[in-house]
């Protein structure tokens, strides 16, 4: 099990942006697919207080539910790029 978990939705361009960065950095992560209906996204809402995706959890660095693709990409670059 990885320290990184990405809550995402297939076909979401913002999620794809984060996935591309994770792959570029060679990071292993667990992917959690969320339902299409926002009203059914109770798990992602409980960790991030919103129903949008992507949302990143990084247990190793006490990140418990970071939303917004641009913020996630910046965080990954600062934290994991060499």
Q: Tell me, what's the pLDDT at 27?
A: 97
Q: What is the CATH number of the domain that holds 49?
A: 3.40.30.10
Q: Is residue 2 predicted with pLDDT exceeding 90?
A: no
The rounded distance, in Å, linking the Cα atoms of 39 and 47 is 15
pLDDT tens, position by position, 3-47: 999 999 999 999 999 999 999 999 999 999 999 999 999 999 999
The residue range of the domain holding 37 is 4-81
Q: Tell me, what's the pLDDT at 40?
A: 97
Give the pTM.
Answer: 0.95
Cis peptide before 41 (omega within 30 of 0): no
Domains in the chain: how many in total?
1
DSSP character at residue 26: T
């Amino acid at each position: 099990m990885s320290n990184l978990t990405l809550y995402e939705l297939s076909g979401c361009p913002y999620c794809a942006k984060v996935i591309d960065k994770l792959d570029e950095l060679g990071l292993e992560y667990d992917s959690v697919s969320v339902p299409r209906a926002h009203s059914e996204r109770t798990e992602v809402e409980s960790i991030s207080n919103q129903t949008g995706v992507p949302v990143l959890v990084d247990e190793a660095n006490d990140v418990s539910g970071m939303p917004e693709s641009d913020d996630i990409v910046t965080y990954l670059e600062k934290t994991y790029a060499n």
